[in-house]
Amino acid sequence: MTTPHKSHRADYAVVGSGVAGLRAAIELSECGSVLVLAKSDLSDSATAWAQGGIAVALSDEDEIGLHEQDTIKAGDGLCRADAVALLVEEGPKYITELIEWGTEFDRAGTKLAFTREAAHSRSRILHAHGDSTGREISRALLARAHSIPHLHLRAHAFTTELIVESGTVVGLQFIDELDGSLHELRAEAVLLATGGLGQIYRETTNPDVATGDGMAIAYDAGALLSDMEFMQFHPTALAVKGAPRFLLSEALRGEGAVLRNINLERFMKRYNEAQELAARDIVARAIVSEMHRTNSEHVYLDMTAKPEGFVEKRFPRIYATCMSYGVDLASDVAPVCPAAHYMMGGVKTDLWGRTSLPGLYAAGETADTGVHGANRLASNSLLEGLVFGARSGQAMMKDAPVKKKHAVGLPGSPAPKPGAAAQPHKNSAKPPQAPELTKIRDVMWRLVGILRSAKELTSAIEQLKSVEPPKTDDHGRAHCEFRNMHALALVMAKSALARHESRGSHYRSDFPYRDDDDFAKHSIAQKAKEIRFEA
């Protein structure tokens, strides 16, 4: 461990400023001082990118039990039933609270407006500004957090490792990206809510910050990771050359968009009776199969049957983004292909966010509560971050009560001079992608992707083991992100090789069937140990 320049103290530390981190921090602020660290801007999280919405059984035609059934069905036999029950039962309370805190969901007249997405038996998806739900929730939570005096938020603070003493997590180290300095933060308890790891894949809908940092530093400290073979691939990301893989929300298909192959034929009925509204893993595999069959790099999403003005009004952000890349969703078919989207696995936790290491908690996409099983039901992720973020905060206060309140020995992000934005330190700004990282992302996409086999996974592990970190004197953010992604890529490939079946998002062409006798269990990964399975 490198000696830090400066040491600080807070009662509670939260790493990550998405829905899970902010909701936990707001909870924790009732009991003591809280410092939230974000490696980029405070609003730069997967939460802010979430378009489709947040699932909750609040409409007159819905029931909590139906939401529970749909979640368990999507999870393909691997959901933890008690975690799902908590999610759907506590969801309405926390959504109502969000509304009280100023979150403006779309309404039909005075009533909340709900839409339907794939594998939901009812219309239960709340949305905001059409397709900017996550951004609206993030705005409301940040506004709430900024109003609390002893809740401090610090941007451009990249957490590099956890501090473990006598088997207990007592703090962390982070780099201040504004000047490159190294800091140590001591706290009664630490929550990891750093989001996902989609950047491990060549094709991903995830923001640049999604490099799995929380999972990787927890793993490095000895915490258990679980279900790391279950990566969800979103079926429909915009496939325009030179454009980022912008996600075209499942809600488009919920509102009637259809899929066509390169020859403009509808094809989903060949793969599943639910057609375009089948579960994500089924639609993603169908698209890949169709791309192979027609020797093409994409299929098309067709929204052109909708009345004039509908697409612009219902999906303003998606419509405008597609237009900026030359695709008019109202009159053109959009080229789409699958892309890595969401990690069902993560740091193994109980129902209160506790990990296998005392003092360490995890919530949101970083955690594996077991709520998603082998395949996440659409729009359950924001709800999970909200519910389990709050529960983690409650557990941290109970397990590590504050006897003597500490003022945070570190202010929040310093305000930039008028007219100037805070700029990261020149050595830590995102560098051009190193060839070694390009190789990891390519190996993961080709060999640990939507369709897998022992031959491909074994080759992936060999190739990943041969990748050395780029030679550099700067051991800043880019170096740490590479290390994190490399470690997690190996865990994912090894977990996928160990699961000799197909289930949810994990599809083995050499084991095409689900095997409940041997694999209705969760994979467990621990540093320097073989992958094992536990019920």
Q: Is 343 helix (H, G, I), strand (E, B) or coil?
A: strand
> Cβ atoms within 10 A of the Cβ of 358, count?
15
**What are the strands, taking DSSP E only, across 177-298?**
181-186, 189-192, 225-226, 231-238, 258-260
Give the dihedral of Cα atoms 521, 236, 324, 256; nearest 10 deg. Answer: -120
Which residues have a Cβ under 8 Å from the Cβ of 529 and sit 6 or more positions away? Answer: none
Work out the number of other CB atoms within 10 angstroms of the CB of residue 165: 10
Asked if 247 contacts 51 with a C-beta cutoff of 8 angstroms, the reply is yes
Mapped onto helix, strand or coil, the DSSP state of residue 381 is helix
3-class state of residue 141 by DSSP: helix
Q: Give me the phi and psi of 100, to 5 degrees please.
A: -60, -30
For residues 373 and 50, is the Cβ–Cβ distance under 8 A?
no
Catalytic residue among 9, 23, 135, 280: 280
Q: Is 280 a catalytic residue?
A: yes
Q: How far apart are CA 127 and CA 181, in angstroms?
A: 40
* Dihedral angle over CA of 19, 23, 29, 30, nearest 10: 170
Whether 153 contacts 42, CB under 8 Å: yes
Q: HEC profile for 31-62?
A: CCCEEEECCCCCCCCHHHHCCCCEECCCCCCC
Q: Does residue 306 contact residue 160 with C-beta atoms inside 8 Å? A: no
Neighbouring C-beta atoms of residue 217, cutoff 10 Å = 27
Residue 64 phi, psi dihedral angles, 5° rounding: -55, -40
Cβ atoms of 402 and 11 closer than 8 Å: yes
DSSP reduced 3-state for 24: helix
φ/ψ (deg, to 5) at 65: -60, -35
114 contact partners, CB below 8 Å, separation of at least 6: 58, 59, 62, 122, 123, 124, 125, 126
Residue type at 142 in one-letter notation: L
The token duo for 192 is: 């990891």
> Residue 307's CB: how many other CB atoms inside 10 A?
7
d(CA 202, CA 196): 15
Picking from 394, 350, 355, 353, the residue whose alpha carbon sits closest to that of residue 27 is 394
Among candidate residues 239, 203, 197, 202, the one with its CA nearest the CA of residue 219: 197
Amino acid code (one letter) for 130:
G
- Catalytic residues, by residue number, are 280
